[in-house]
Structure 1
Amino acid sequence: MLWPDSYVLNNIRVRVMFVFMPSLIHKLTNTTHLTHLLSSILQAFVTKFQSISTRKLSNALKILTADKTMVAMSDYNDYHKTVKRHILTGVLGPNAQKKHRIHRDIMMDNISNRLHEFVKTSADQQEVDFRKIFQSELFGLAMRQVLGKEVESIYVQDLKLIMSRDEIFQVLVVDPMMGAIDVDWRDFFPYLKWIPNKRFESTIHQMYIRREAVMKALIKQQKERIASGEKLNSYIDYLLSEAQTLTEKQLLMSLWEPIIESSDTTMVTTEWAMYELAKNPDIQDRLYRDIQSVCGPDTITEEHLTQLPYITAIFHETLRRHSPVPIIPLRYVHEDTVLGGYHVPAGTELAVNIYGCNMEKNVWENPEKWDPERFMKENGPIDFQKTMAFGGGKRVCAGSLQAMLTACIGIGRMVQEFEWRLKDKAQEEVNTIGLTTQMLRLLRVLIKPRN
């Protein structure tokens, strides 16, 4: 394994990890040649080279993704292009986002109401559990977009039990996210893959079985609703009408993917943003003044975002400082390839360290500091792709628009209606856990209504 020094390519400082590349290591001595090679690797990550578009998944992810039957983890092929087109048309594309606007508005109103109710009923100096409220409402948004309505409980025939909303969330979101980072030692010693690892296999397969059972129950319920003549603005209505070539397994995974992805990474980014705003009252006050100057007595809405560049700056700075996905999942070279004049043998694995890129001192001034001003240039365009948070090219994240709208309006509404602060300095000692960079300790903050 080799970690070469970082190099500036297309205004992005890139750190690339080469795994199992012995034939290349002795060649990586000339800076010009290495820069040329890294430039080619960047192109490879946006699928210019078909041979480097293959995902190399852990054993846990192979099982949980039904062998790559989801957009984010699939190889770049006809299936990937078809399913991505469906998810953009039915849920995440600009036109779909306009149709689902009402669902996001409901989510923001629910968060506001829950926070105001907390203030009314809690004791003085009691801290609110931000993640519990925000993630719960994100899950509700995902359910409304995918199924057309929230589901408070459901009978799961395959498991022969009734599941509550919280139990559904546990099975569809929490368990798979934790299972995805479950380590199977055979991932590191593939030549010993014939040796059983029963504890691991049992744990992951149980997650898979329970996830599949719950999704089947939800799909069955919605098919019965559609058969009765009730049509809703939902992804399942779209898929059952427009994507009839999907198999039952592909339909299940296509519906599950926006549920789990909508419920996690946006929450991670928003939680870190609110933590930084509570920690930096001057920045919070500036944002509040900006909102007041644009919105006055009116509630902030998505139409106001173009007039509030500081919210966008806060969003992108949070993506930089607290990258939700710190390392791009490994790409696997499945056939011999020529990159930048170098022979890259089949079996090579490539990864980009996003965290390392975003903390590079030669590109970012004081990278350890959370400073939204770095995205508020007065002259010239701002390169929002510089953090690489959503990838690029043909494999750019399908949910980037929804993530930005949801996080920015969530941040704006919460600062417009409440003052946020940390109770003590001990809360500034934070760390991360999980497949994405969730805060190890839940964000618990003091809030005070502004009016």
Structure 2
Amino acid sequence: METLRTILQVVQTQPFAVSAVLGVLSLFFFLFLSLRGLKHSTLPTVPAVPGLPVIGNLLQLKEKKPYKTFKQLAEKYGPIYSIRTGAFTVIVLNSVQLAKEAMVTRFSSMSNRQLSTALKVLTFDKCMVAISDYNDFHKMIKKHILSNILGANAQKRHRSHREEMIANILSQFNEHVETSPTKAVDFRNIFASELFGLGLKQGVGSNVESLYVKELGDTLTKDDIYKILVLDLMEGALEVDWRDFFPYLQWIPNRSLEKKIETIHFRRKVVMEALIDEQKKRIASGKEIHCYIDYLLSEAKELTEEQVSILLWETIIETSDTTLVTTEWAMFELARDKKRQDRLYEEIQKVCGNEKLTEDHLSKLPYLGAVFHETLRKHSPAPIVPLRSVQEDTELGGYHIPKGSQIAINIYGCNMDKSQWENPHWWMPERFLDEKYDPADLHKTMAFGAGKRVCAGALQAMLIACTAIGRLVQEFEWKLKEGAGGEDVDTVGLTTHKLHPLQVKLKPRNH
């Protein structure tokens, strides 16, 4: 400050010195830019995976499980490397340290999403908490969803819905045991339907069993609605438009893909409008339920009708899918591992006794928490974080990352990193009982992300999955159907569903 004051005094008393002062300041500015550029130029570039001219490494990614391809490449090129996808450079991260650096330390340089054409349409141009760019709009809609659905206080308000869901699931399993004691039950069929019902109750206040949709000219069943709002959207989100990799060829039509995505988007749109119209009629009649749509219509006045529709749909689809993936894999692992299933049951008995396990018991059940986190690690529901775009030249892992690059964080690669996890392909909940892990930390793995874009639904996922796993083990002994021990996964729809729904034989426990 003193130096600046001196310079100003010189300028005022000696006008002839102005040009000299400006010259000195210009020199300092030039040197500053040069040194700044030198800093980047001295950093090494990210190791590149060799590819073909024009298309780069696209042929290596032709299967629909790129997270496994990325992991294989990491074994040869290291935890950070670059690939070319047509006109774009993608920096792939395969370690926890690099992922956290990207999500936390370098967040301001790479905070926005890079979406495919299909996702742009299906998310109404990033009008979702999970997909929107990090800006004022993102902060506003995240505040809305935390206030009414996913925050700690909101979760307390919705607890009765979760308890009713668990009761319904147990009732159906008990009915199956009574009527067909020797036959295996389809776990997914029952659990998915009840999860979808929970999403509807939180979103629109009731478990909708049927809905007339004028534009479709039909009355839809709950299964029809589930297919349109969840299954079709998860499949459509994985559709790849080759023009995404070559922007200069956008003028070439791709009508088959465009028509498919438009159809999925239209069907979702008219079903959501029908659901919202039903709730508007209810509200007009004076009946209040305190669900998400009531909140959005009364509190989120700054949102358009389309934005309200997408935000409501987001809570339904996210409640319905990823928690299903985690719970199904956890029950699969427990069903084929009697020793660990027995250990979990013994912990539950010691803490709960003759009481039914509830959310109040979860903090006293460390092994149950370990089962949850180990399942997230080995079977991460979302194996790759949606691409982020680099907004400015930055540094990552000691490498220079140029503006315009895309960042792919391979959660699967992070959770299978042998330098981080002992025997990563083994399912061993005990690893999370180590005192180095905070029992209250929901982010032991990278399944929920980290930093300012951390998953808003982490608490709900933990409450649903842990309570369900605990109650299911408390009530039944679980055993896989003969020949049902394979670990194949199906990533159609972005998430790591088992290729075949979990088939299990149940035996009621003698309390």
Task: Report if the CA contact (8 A) 1:300-1:413 is conserved.
Answer: yes
Task: Report if the CA contact (8 A) 1:68-1:74 is conserved.
Answer: yes
Deviations 1:303-326 (A, max 9, x none): 001111111000000000111111
User: Counterparts of 1:321 and 1:44 in 2: how far apart (Å)?
Assistant: 22
- The worse-fitting range, judged by mean Cα deviation, of 243-252 and 383-392 is 383-392
Which amino acid letter does the alignment assign opposite residue 102 of structure 1? S
User: Counterparts of 1:425 and 1:163 in 2: how far apart (Å)?
Assistant: 36
Q: Which of 279, 292, 300 is the aligned partner of 1:243?
A: 300
Aligned CA distance change for structure 1 residues 410 and 254 (closer, same or farther; 3 Å): same
1:189 is matched with 246
User: Counterparts of 2:203 and 2:145 in 1: how far apart (Å)?
Assistant: 10
2:52 is matched with none
Report the secondary structure of 1:216's partner residue. helix
The correspondence of residues 204-243 of structure 1 with structure 2, limited to 5 A, is: 204-243=261-300
User: Counterparts of 1:121 and 1:385 in 2: how far apart (Å)?
Assistant: 41
Task: Report if the CA contact (8 A) 1:17-1:351 is conserved.
Answer: no
| Runs ≥4 residues deviating over 6 A | 38-41
User: Counterparts of 1:287 and 1:72 in 2: how far apart (Å)?
Assistant: 33
Q: Which of 285, 309, 316 is the aligned partner of 1:252?
A: 309
Q: Which of 428, 435, 444 is the aligned partner of 1:371?
A: 428
Report the secondary structure of 2:430's partner residue. helix
Residue 385 of structure 1 pairs with residue 449 of structure 2: no
Residue 151 of structure 1 pairs with residue 215 of structure 2: no
Task: Report if the CA contact (8 A) 1:107-1:141 is conserved.
Answer: yes
Residue 119 of structure 1 pairs with residue 189 of structure 2: no
Aligned CA distance change for structure 1 residues 185 and 304 (closer, same or farther; 3 Å): same
Q: Give the count of matched residue pairs.
A: 431
Task: Report if the CA contact (8 A) 2:484-2:503 is conserved.
Answer: no
Task: Report if the CA contact (8 A) 1:15-1:353 is conserved.
Answer: no
2:374 is matched with 317
User: Counterparts of 2:327 and 2:243 in 1: how far apart (Å)?
Assistant: 36
Residue 163 of structure 1 pairs with residue 220 of structure 2: yes
Percent identity for Structure 1 against Structure 2: 56
Q: Which consecutive unaligned segments of at least 5 residues does structure 2 have?
A: 1-47, 50-69
Q: Which of 279, 286, 292 is the aligned partner of 2:343?
A: 286
Report the secondary structure of 2:461's partner residue. helix
1:447 is matched with 506
User: Counterparts of 2:349 and 2:99 in 1: how far apart (Å)?
Assistant: 46
1:419 is matched with 477
Task: Report if the CA contact (8 A) 2:213-2:274 is conserved.
Answer: yes
2:42 is matched with none
Deviation at 1:21, TM superposition (A): 11
2:142 is matched with 84
User: Counterparts of 2:227 and 2:406 in 1: how far apart (Å)?
Assistant: 33
Deviation at 1:339, TM superposition (A): 2.4
Deviations 1:345-364 (A, max 9, x none): 33201111111111111221
Deviation at 1:432, TM superposition (A): 2.8
Deviations 1:72-105 (A, max 9, x none): 1110011100000000001000000000001101
Deviations 1:248-296 (A, max 9, x none): 1110011000000100000000000000000101100111111111111
- The worse-fitting range, judged by mean Cα deviation, of 179-188 and 253-262 is 179-188
1:18 is matched with 82
Q: TM-score, with normalisation over the residues of structure 1? A: 0.90
Q: Which consecutive unaligned segments of at least 5 residues does structure 1 have?
A: 7-13, 26-33
2:394 is matched with 338
Which amino acid letter does the alignment assign opposite residue 495 of structure 2? T
User: Counterparts of 1:78 and 1:422 in 2: how far apart (Å)?
Assistant: 48
User: Counterparts of 2:188 and 2:274 in 1: how far apart (Å)?
Assistant: 27
User: Counterparts of 2:484 and 2:269 in 1: how far apart (Å)?
Assistant: 41
Deviations 1:375-431 (A, max 9, x none): 012577466534111011110000000000000000011100011111224533533
Greater RCO (CA < 8 Å, at least 6 residues apart): 1
User: Counterparts of 1:51 and 1:262 in 2: how far apart (Å)?
Assistant: 30
User: Counterparts of 1:39 and 1:106 in 2: how far apart (Å)?
Assistant: 40
Q: TM-score, with normalisation over the residues of structure 2? A: 0.80
